[in-house]
Copies of this chain bind each other. A is one copy, B any other.
Amino acid sequence: MISRVAILGTGLIGSSFALALKQRATGLRIVGCDRPEVLARARAAGIIDDAESNPVEAIAGCQLILLAAPVQANLELLRTIAPHLPPDALVTDAGSTKANIAALAVELFGGDSLRRFLPGHPIAGKEVSGVEHADGNLFVGASWVFTPEQGLHALIAPEFSRGLHAEFMRLLEAIGARIVVTTPAEHDRVLAYTSHLPQLVSTALAATLLDAMQNQPGLRELSGRALREMTRLAASDPRMWSGIASQNRANLVSALFEMEHALARLRLSLGTEEFTHEFERARRFDFDSTPASEESTDPPKF
């Protein structure tokens, strides 16, 4: 029975999760763990009940522990708290890369690591960070991906379809999230294209504009919605993204290479029929119409 939840890292995701639980679940006490000044703001805003800057102290008496720091910090947090976990606590995380932390959990907890650690990733976020932007509706309609090494089948085993794992997923459904299951490797490969590449493309576009137009007078008057929209993500937190980029390096090298080639193809075809052909082809991309597999769309039934 989950009655006390530790959230290690009360940035945008951690504090939005806390706020969503406050708004849509009952009987939970939430302890936040972060730097003291961040915790003071989170408590003042009524987002957390208790504040504790030491992660080992923070998890005491908790049944559910969410790691919601940047991905590199999540690895360190998991290593730090592992020897001190309350006997029946379930640890999960919210990081954008899954292979490294899933491997660390096996190293720390052995073959049945899934009993102690459930690798997760809510596909939600903003270009702004911090507890000030906490949003209790952030996960409404968003996918919350879990990545047990063996895929969906591991999660529907009887030991997980009752107890803490199931209770946690009911909480996620209560805050509006849709549960999706895949493997760590598949997650990291797909997210390299659907999330990490778009972020780096936005960053590269902003860098290009900065270099070329730095002192351009009247740039705003000569820009439309397109530029604003395409560079919005460039405001994202570098500390968060350097960890993601580092941990998903191999997949991102491929994705960036392919993107560079796609730009070069357009550049070399400017003014030719091939340009129209390439443009027409890209226009067919529509991820809304991509058929979803049964494994990815049907949430496990608890």
Interface positions of A (Cβ within 8 A of B):
123-125, 142-143, 145, 178, 180, 182, 187, 190-191, 193-195, 197-213, 216-224, 226-236, 238-239, 241-242, 245-246, 249, 252-260, 262-267, 270-271, 275-276, 278-285, 287-288, 290-293, 295-297
A272 to B218: give the CA distance in the assembly, Å.
Answer: 35
A285 to B204: give the CA distance in the assembly, Å.
Answer: 11
Given A270-B249, A290-B219, A291-B217: A123 touches B281 (CB 8 Å cut-off): no
Chain B nearest CB, measured from A19 CB (Å): 19
Given A227-B194, A252-B267: A262 touches B207 (CB 8 Å cut-off): yes
Q: Is A287 in contact with B239, judged by CB distance below 8 angstroms?
A: no
- The number of times this chain is found in the oligomer is 2
Q: Is A282 in contact with B234, judged by CB distance below 8 angstroms?
A: yes
Question: Which chain B residue has the least Cβ–Cβ distance from A281?
Answer: B207
Q: What residues of chain B lie closer than 8 Å to A295, measured between beta carbons?
A: 217-218
Q: Is A252 in contact with B270, judged by CB distance below 8 angstroms?
A: yes
Given A222-B191, A260-B263, A279-B242: A290 touches B211 (CB 8 Å cut-off): no
Indicate which residue in B223, B262, B280 contacts A208 across the interface (CB closer than 8 Å): B262
Q: Is A260 in contact with B264, judged by CB distance below 8 angstroms?
A: yes
A190 to B125: give the CA distance in the assembly, Å.
Answer: 32
19 residue pairs of the A-B complex, CB under 8 angstroms, read A180-B221, A193-B212, A198-B226, A198-B231, A201-B201, A201-B230, A204-B263, A204-B265, A205-B259, A207-B285, A208-B258, A210-B281, A218-B293, A221-B292, A223-B287, A229-B229, A229-B232, A238-B276, A246-B275
